[in-house]
Amino acid sequence: PDKKTAWPIPNIWGWALNRGIAAVKEDAVEMLASYGLAYSLMKFFTGPMSDFKNVGLVFVNSKRDRTKAVLCMVVAGAIAAVFHTLIAYSDLGYYIINKLHHVDESVGSKTRRAFLYLAAFPFMDAMAWTHAGILLKHKYSFLVGCASISDVIAQVVFVAILLHSHLECREPLLIPILSLYMGALVRCTTLCLGYYKNIHDIIPDRSGPELGGDATIRKMLSFWWPLALILATQRISRPIVNLFVSRDLGGSSAATEAVAILTATYPVGHMPYGWLTEIRAVYPAFDKNNPSNKLVSTSNTVTAAHIKKFTFVCMALSLTLCFVMFWTPNVSEKILIDIIGVDFAFAELCVVPLRIFSFFPVPVTVRAHLTGWLMTLKKTFVLAPSSVLRIIVLIASLVVLPYLGVHGATLGVGSLLAGFVGESTMVAIAACYVYRKQKKKMENESATEGEDSAMTDMPPTEEVTDIVEMREENE
């Protein structure tokens, strides 16, 4: 809709990281499972922080607002680092990873070690997302996209470099983890430099009355926590799936293989539809009723109808991409073999889970479109129940489907799809509730204005009395 606006960049860095692990031929499946468990647990902590991008998009109108947002992220990053250390060294981590997931001592030890190495990542990720939201507010999504591309490129380059180092023999887990850090560093640096170059000097020190005044930390957190809860449940869904899939197969070698399949298929299956989540940023960025958009001038008028058409086109494109990639014979296997680096037998086991991913774009698009509209109205609190329903549907599916003969990675991805559908349905119900309240409020305001107008148009009481008396005298 805007000449500065670019398409969101797909979340494909997992391909390069998994490639770095799969290239280590010795215990490649075990290493893939260990890194997958650690990465999915880490995402549970970074997920809520990445939604501070929306705080930057909606609330940050001044340097003072930005300082408050960054302070919140510093505190959240420190808390996440403490949890990482606690899980790595305490009995709590042994229970969560070894006992709950029914993995052997070797996989559990590697997973806890990888989790410790990832302790600083949540802070770096949160700082990057906060500045990404501010840049999106000012229509610099092209710069945000370039930062994401730079992240992926940096990870691919460092995986290639580190594969030729001594780490492959000494500590193979550090290959994807160091690459992840380097990518995040490049992305965070790019976004921060973009903010200081393009935005820092043009926004005021404090927000004036025309922008609703300075945003308080309380308002930011009230807006953020429902979105954080939703994303936290999305992030914890993957560890829950890994847990149930592993326990369903009794912690055997088949369980390790199933977790490895899930680890390999998540980034590949996520690529064709993952970027649809960013559609929720379109409504706040272009809504003219949002006072924060008065800071940003644009020559093009973007209406709700334009946004709906744009959303539909994005969903259609994602569905087409999914069916081409995952239903065309031998295409998905070739992607896994050539990019991830697994063997053909392992790639064949990933075909069915990847085909289930083909149906994800519809619920993801519905959720993203309606969430963006609710964010514009700052009514995010109605989204909280959807996260609860998602977990309920997910766990129910993981419990029921094994009785129907569904096991392994297919069980995991199918349950994720059921959770997405449940969540999107609840978001739609919440949006309908808010729409009806908004419509009723507007009708009441129109009625009140009509009454005020009628009272204003009526002549004063004394004038009416005089007119009546004159008519009686004439008669």
Does the structure show a pLDDT above 90 at 438? no
pLDDT, mean of residues 10-36: 56
Greater confidence (75 vs 166) lies with 75
Closest CA to 295 of 94, 126, 453, 63: 63
Distance CA 213, CA 207 (A): 5
pLDDT band at 391 (very low <50, low <70, confident <90, very high): very high
Distance CA 77, CA 118 (A): 12
Q: In a 10 Å sphere around its CB, with 0-12 CB exposed, 13-18 middle and 19+ buried, how is residue 70 labelled?
A: middle
pLDDT score recorded for residue 190: 95
Distance CA 381, CA 225 (A): 8
- Share of the chain residues as helix, strand and coil, in percent rounded to the nearest 5: 80, 0, 20
Range picked from 35-44, 56-65, 98-107, 359-368 for highest mean pLDDT: 359-368
Which of the residue ranges 9-18, 139-148, 261-270, 415-424 would you say has the lowest mean pLDDT?
A: 9-18
Distance CA 197, CA 185 (A): 18
Q: In a 10 Å sphere around its CB, with 0-12 CB exposed, 13-18 middle and 19+ buried, how is residue 439 labelled?
A: exposed
Structure tokens at 318: 């994602």
Closest CA to 122 of 39, 62, 205: 39
pLDDT band at 8 (very low <50, low <70, confident <90, very high): very low
Across the chain, mean pLDDT equals: 81
Distance CA 53, CA 171 (A): 34
Rg (CA), the chain: 26
Please, what is the end-to-end C-alpha distance for the chain in angstroms?
A: 70
Distance CA 111, CA 119 (A): 13
Does the structure show a pLDDT above 60 at 24? no
Which residue, chain included where needed, has tokens 């969430």?
371
pLDDT tens, residue by residue, 265-300? 888 899 899 889 889 888 888 866 555 555 555 556
Distance CA 431, CA 367 (A): 10
Which residue, chain included where needed, has tokens 């209406």?
303
Which of the residue ranges 66-75, 134-143, 249-258, 461-470 would you say has the lowest mean pLDDT?
A: 461-470
Which of the residue ranges 114-128, 157-171, 316-330 would you say has the lowest mean pLDDT?
A: 157-171
Which of the residue ranges 145-159, 214-228, 264-278 would you say has the lowest mean pLDDT?
A: 214-228
pLDDT score recorded for residue 297: 53
Which residue, chain included where needed, has tokens 């994005």?
314
Structure tokens at 387: 């996260």
Distance CA 145, CA 273 (A): 16
Alpha helices in 119-140 (DSSP H): 121-137
Sign of the CA dihedral running 110, 116, 120, 126:
positive
Instruction: Write the DSSP assignment of 159-218 as a string of letters.
Output: HHHHTTSTHHHH-TTHHHHHHHHHHHHHHHHHHHHHHHHHTTTTS-SS--GGGTSPPPHH
pLDDT score recorded for residue 3: 33
Which residue, chain included where needed, has tokens 């709906």?
308
Distance CA 274, CA 140 (A): 20
pLDDT above 90 as % of the chain: 27
pLDDT band at 370 (very low <50, low <70, confident <90, very high): very high
pLDDT band at 1 (very low <50, low <70, confident <90, very high): very low
Does the structure show a pLDDT above 50 at 11? no
pLDDT band at 28 (very low <50, low <70, confident <90, very high): low
pLDDT band at 12 (very low <50, low <70, confident <90, very high): very low
Closest CA to 35 of 57, 15, 17: 17
pLDDT score recorded for residue 13: 43
pLDDT score recorded for residue 357: 94
Does the structure show a pLDDT above 70 at 22? no
pLDDT tens, residue by residue, 57-108? 888 888 888 999 888 888 888 888 888 888 888 888 888 887 776 777 777 8
Range picked from 145-149, 256-260, 317-321, 443-447 for highest mean pLDDT: 317-321
3 state DSSP class of 5 = coil
20 in Cβ contact with 162 (< 8 Å):
yes
